[in-house]
Amino acid sequence: MGVLTSIKNKFVRVPPDYAQLSARLGTLAPFDAARARIFRYRKQYGVNLGSMFCLEPWIATRIYEEYATHNPEAEGDLVECMGQCSAEKMQAHWDSWLQRADFERMASMGINSVRLPVGYWILGYGFVAEKYYSRAQTYNRALYYVGRIISWAAEFDIGVLVDIHALPGGQNNDSHSGATGPARLFESRNHQDMAIKCIDAFAYLLAQVTNIVGLQVINEPQDHPKLEAFYEHALKQVRAQSPTLPVYVGDAWNLDKYAYIVKRLRRRFGFVVLDTHKYWVFRPEEKQYPVKRLIKELQEIDMPELLHASAELEGNLVIGEYSSILPDISCQGTNPTVSMGEFSREQLYVYNSTTAGTFYWTWRLQHDAGFWSMQFAINVGAMPSEYFPFGWSFSVEPSCEVIVRMAEERRSEWREKRLQGHMNYVARWEGDFGFGHYVAGFDEGLTVALEFFSRLKFPSKLGFGHQLASEYAIAFVFLHGGNQWQWEYVDGFREANDEFSDFVHHII
């Protein structure tokens, strides 16, 4: 990845009018390609940072209270109510909503990624529309606070998925899309052009930031006839800025359809990930079953659906939002905390077994007195208190260094065992096979697994395994030939990771 990236980066566009955006974001640590690979390709155990930048009145209640008589919903309504005080009041919110201690706590429990929802308007002048146009100065300091979040996260080896949660005109009918009323993004060419311009700017700002997990170009869009074409346009724009930055897109509440669409897009645009959201509290009243039945449905309906979508996408699927919250009637006759805790643990098992990552909605509420707050849910036992891969913890023995040394001592043994299994598997077919490709893939895969496990402050587990294996395989075939055996390289790479994972699970 490092060599290819350095070559491709020579051709990345650097628009002169973006210089002021970079200055406002601030100075971040120099790009480290080897560490960035871990942040981007590892299994994500995450949480959303809701209402840090894209405000919602039920989360960030205090800043809305003063204007309750006007009933502002979208952030644009709120800053309009604030008038000339908007910059001062919004900056006070950004300065206080999250602190360094939040990231320290996340890291202590194994949360390795955060999803950061932002409105397109935080880019300020030149990137705003509608109500945000007249209040563009409100956001002069917003990127500084984005940079602060990224830096705090980096300090604790936490990755950041920047989610453009709201686009011009709104991509859905909810106020968190930045607009009040019907979605108008796809009804206006101007809105779509502005959206692409903002996506381009975010890609420019984030592509060379080590702990950026990726860029999500849209959140919970309506399943509009123009959405697929919009994705293609957005991906072309991001790839013009960066050939390697992971790009996340929403499934428009239609997982099967967009799994197929993203499968096609991945062939042209590389590292593209589909984001699906899972909320059980919003089910129709006739489907608000008791917890035991919901768990059964989770296992027998949702899990096969996720497995199918993940297979279509070769693992490039995440749960960008989920929660422990269930309808009141589902917990009737039980202790709600216990019932939601039981359901949450089953959710995590299913989601972690079928996808490359999960992000709880959300890290905090204004007063952290409800299950929508992950901190509250953890404190009362409705969510687990640790999320480290392999069942690892800071007190576990043996140490990471010892585990890596033990694995290296077994490299030859594992390689021979897995190669023999591979040879037995392909013996059923006639033809030539590239066992050398398999061995090369196995050795590289094990090296990568050990690096993921030991390079950062706490272990990482490969999440987007097929994506990374395929990229290594392409590079190997480019240098050594044997394109027809590329699949064997991929198999060897992935089986090395499986071997190491089984080993770690066994000894911890």
Q: What digits encode the pLDDT tens for the residues 338-355?
A: 999 999 999 999 999 999
pLDDT value at position 17?
77
Q: Is the pLDDT of residue 401 over 60?
A: yes
pLDDT value at position 7?
43
What mean pLDDT do residues 132-143 have?
96
Q: What digits encode the pLDDT tens for the residues 71-102?
A: 999 999 999 999 999 999 999 999 999 999 99
- Please report, rounded to a whole number, the percentage of residues in the chain having pLDDT higher than 90: 94
Cα distance between residue 161 and residue 171, in whole Å: 19
Cα distance between residue 356 and residue 439, in whole Å: 25
Cα distance between residue 290 and residue 99, in whole Å: 38
Q: Which residues of 307-341 are buried (b: 16+ CB within 10 A; e: fewer)?
A: eebbebbbbbbbbbbbbbbbbeebbeeeebeebbb
Provide the phi-psi class of 249: left if phi over 0, else alpha when psi is between -120 and 50, else beta.
Answer: beta
What mean pLDDT do residues 24-43 have?
97
What mean pLDDT do residues 287-291 have?
96
What mean pLDDT do residues 36-42 have?
98
398 preceded by a cis bond (ω within 30 of 0): yes
What mean pLDDT do residues 47-56 have?
98
pLDDT value at position 1?
45
Cα distance between residue 226 and residue 186, in whole Å: 7
Q: Is the pLDDT of residue 149 over 60?
A: yes
Q: Is the pLDDT of residue 14 over 70?
A: no
Q: Is the pLDDT of residue 15 over 70?
A: no
Please state the φ and ψ torsions of residue 473, each to the nearest 5 degrees.
-60, -40
Cα distance between residue 467 and residue 500, in whole Å: 18
Q: Is the pLDDT of residue 42 over 80?
A: yes
What mean pLDDT do residues 107-117 have?
98
Please, what is the average pLDDT of the chain? 95
